[in-house]
Structure 1
Amino acid sequence: MYSTVPSSPIYQKALEIFSLSRRISDYLVDDLAELSPSGNENPHIYFTGDIVQQSVCLAPEILKAEQQLERDKKHQHADSLNRLTNKLYTNCQRLERSNSNGAEFVSILRKELRKFKKLQRNWMLTL
């Protein structure tokens, strides 16, 4: 069973999302790192780390769900994947509202997340 999972479309899309979120985060961190004139940091800078942290967890959750033998445990991991995806999407929306030159790149990530959600719905039916 393990050998078929890494080539699955949802797993591959999860890896793409992780790679994309890392690149976007690296770009945005530089842009959002500047302190405001009052000396405060930009609160949106934390969302850049959040999108990487959440996206790094997508692929392992898919593997965990696929490797479980019990249906309930498969669905627990699938639910966890769903929560991660929703949080990631929300954080992307927050980053798009930031005053950053890279906010338009975040919309690309959101578009990929919508594709991932479609794959996720179909994948959950196969568990």
Structure 2
Amino acid sequence: MGENTVRRDRRGKVGRIGEDLAAEFLTSLGWQILDRNWRTRYGELDLIAADGPSLVIVEVKTRASHTYTDPVAAVTPQKLRRMRLLARQWLAARPDGAPWWEVIRFDAVSVQLDLEHPCDRDRARLRHHVGLVE
């Protein structure tokens, strides 16, 4: 197995751990997860959730390194624009028709895993960033 394959496998594992932790966190707040890893040719939405009357599109950023002080620093204005485009596509693709949402919000959950023990979920630090703006 080549170095690139190992790095890609580790990145995928780290990402899955972060998304699972973020989904569990949001569910503990009483949110309903409507969709996970929704994809089109234009990109992917990590989590789509309902927080009462609000539809919340959640970008999950997970790191097992110290590249950024907070992994949310990787959510660029370009990424936020793509999230908006994908949210419109998700709403249009709903087979039951999109219910009316009072608010459509874009949040991020940053997950910093322990550098030495990235699979130890108890050592992970989560931070919820509400209402991303460009």
Higher helix share: 1
Which structure is larger by alpha-carbon Rg, 1 or 2? 1
TM-score (norm 1): 0.29
- More contact order relative to length (CA 8 Å, sep ≥ 6): 1
